[in-house]
């Protein structure tokens, strides 16, 4: 089925080559035209050359081209997939995280939530709005999918700027359930009927049933999950285990994972302390695989595994810097290809997690906020599934953060620095007031290349 697919940010070998492999593996998308778009000419050419060589070697029916001209690339596009970041990712992330600490603002990660998440959003949203503006003008019927973070802030702002745009945020965190629930329940994943929802990186598993019997699986999950996420006996934490063994932490579910043919180190990075607290206090299992969940709550600072968080950040930065050049592989890893197939064939299947405007999907939250819910995929695109009312305690946590997203969107769209200060004052993670104007001024000065539009 011939379609035109544009990969925005394809100069990144991880995204470009990885996504090409996913697409090339699809029999439904055979014959499609794929345009690689990036601002880095050298990186873009490298990805294109490797793609062309792969197509020739495997005799695959796809056409691949590259461009640095968005206007040209977007002509007649059916699908646009965005995965971009601005600047030096880890240097800016560390600034987002650590500069607020100097002003007395504690935060768990500072990538998607807290003060750092606000500054990250203020940098990344403007270029994504420019991409969407061109898409609306050149290919208004194109379906746009975005992998960039902070996803809720991006998706909320894009839909506020361009009502009616076919823009969906996609996050792979939902895949965590497939990686650890089979081990916890000793049951094949395809036998589970699951439903999750909330805000991106702030979602929980809401229901779990056995497809064959209809049995409620949640009590068993709550009983067994704490043990599954426990640190291997004899080691104090991740770093202790890693230094002594050179491996990622194994949990007590390691043997079960091995028996099921799963990655033995799957989700060693889960913040066990925070997971345990959420499960005991709210009776819910977060679907994130690390400490992202703690970015949105002030008290998470007290509960979170700070040693594990720092270890993860250092390990992640080191791993990416030393990672071998990726190869194109004919396998489906990300959910974007099944979604494009579902739209192209009008399949009507249910995707486990999409980020779309609420509009009543979660009754406890305002209509304008982008929520993470299951979504039906058919010829018209992505349609979120209504979840109704959430458990009250969890809903209260989500509502606490929506004001920050509202004011962040207004700061981007108006360029008003006052809205940035107000977004921080509304942020439940921020427990200071007097230093915030100075903090905002410092961050605008330090990251002026991206935040200089704020006045």
* CA neighbor of 229 nearest in space, from 244, 247, 251, 258: 251
To the nearest 10°, report the CA torsion of 211, 216, 219, 222. Answer: 40
φ/ψ of 94, rounded to 5, equals -65, -35
Q: How many Cβ atoms are within 10 Å of 190's Cβ, its own excluded? A: 9
Cβ atoms of 386 and 360 closer than 8 Å: yes
Could you identify the residue written with the tokens 């011939």? 2
Of 88, 93, 77, the C-alpha closest to 8 is 77
* Marked catalytic residue, from 58, 120, 172, 201: 172
Asked if 292 is an active-site residue, the reply is no
In this structure, how many other beta carbons lie within 10 angstroms of the beta carbon of residue 373? 25
Residues classed as catalytic: 172
């Amino acid at each position: 089925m011939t379609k035109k697919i544009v990969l925005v940010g394809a100069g990144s070998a991880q995204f470009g080559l990885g996504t090409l492999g996913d697409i090339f593996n699809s029999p439904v998308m055979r014959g499609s035209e794929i345009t690689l778009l990036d601002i880095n000419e050298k990186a873009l050419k490298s990805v294109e050359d490797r793609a062309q060589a792969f197509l020739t070697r495997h005799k695959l029916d796809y056409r691949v081209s590259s461009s640095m001209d968005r206007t040209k690339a977007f002509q007649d596009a059916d699908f646009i997939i965005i995965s971009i970041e601005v600047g030096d990712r880890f240097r800016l992330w560390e600034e987002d995280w650590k500069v607020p600490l100097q002003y007395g603002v504690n935060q768990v990660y500072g990538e998607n939530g807290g003060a750092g998440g606000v500054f990250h959003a203020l940098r990344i949203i403007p270029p994504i709005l420019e991409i969407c503006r061109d898409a609306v003008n050149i290919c208004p019927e194109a379906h746009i999918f975005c992998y960039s973070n902070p996803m809720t802030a991006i998706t909320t702002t894009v839909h506020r700027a361009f009502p009616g745009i076919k823009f969906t945020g996609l996050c792979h965190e939902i895949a965590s359930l497939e990686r650890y629930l089979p081990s916890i329940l000793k049951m094949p994943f395809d036998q589970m009927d699951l439903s999750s929802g909330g805000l991106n990186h702030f979602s929980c598993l809401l229901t779990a049933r056995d497809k064959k019997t209809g049995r409620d699986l949640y009590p068993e999950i709550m009983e067994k999950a704490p043990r599954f996420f426990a640190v291997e006996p004899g080691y104090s934490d991740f770093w202790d285990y890693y230094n002594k063994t050179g491996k990622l932490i194994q949990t007590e579910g390691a043997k079960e994972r091995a028996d099921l043919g799963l990655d033995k180190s799957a989700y060693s990075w889960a913040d066990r302390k925070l997971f345990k607290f959420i499960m005991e206090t709210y009776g819910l299992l977060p679907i994130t695989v690390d400490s992202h969940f703690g970015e949105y709550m002030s008290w998470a600072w007290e509960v979170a595994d700070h040693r594990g968080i720092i270890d993860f950040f250092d390990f992640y930065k080191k791993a990416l810097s030393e990672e071998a050049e990726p190869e194109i592989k004919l396998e489906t890893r990300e959910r974007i290809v099944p979604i494009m197939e579902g739209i192209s064939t009008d399949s009507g299947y249910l995707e486990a997690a999409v980020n779309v405007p609420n509009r009543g999907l979660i009754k406890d939250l305002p209509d304008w906020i982008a929520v993470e819910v299951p979504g039906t995929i058919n010829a018209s695109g992505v349609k979120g599934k209504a979840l109704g009312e959430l458990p009250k305690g969890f809903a209260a946590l989500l509502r606490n953060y929506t004001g920050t997203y509202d004011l962040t969107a207004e700061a981007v769209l108006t360029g008003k620095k006052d809205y940035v200060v107000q977004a921080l004052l509304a942020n439940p993670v921020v427990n200071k007031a007097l230093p915030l104007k100075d903090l905002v001024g410092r961050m605008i000065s330090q990251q002026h290349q991206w935040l200089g539009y704020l006045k």
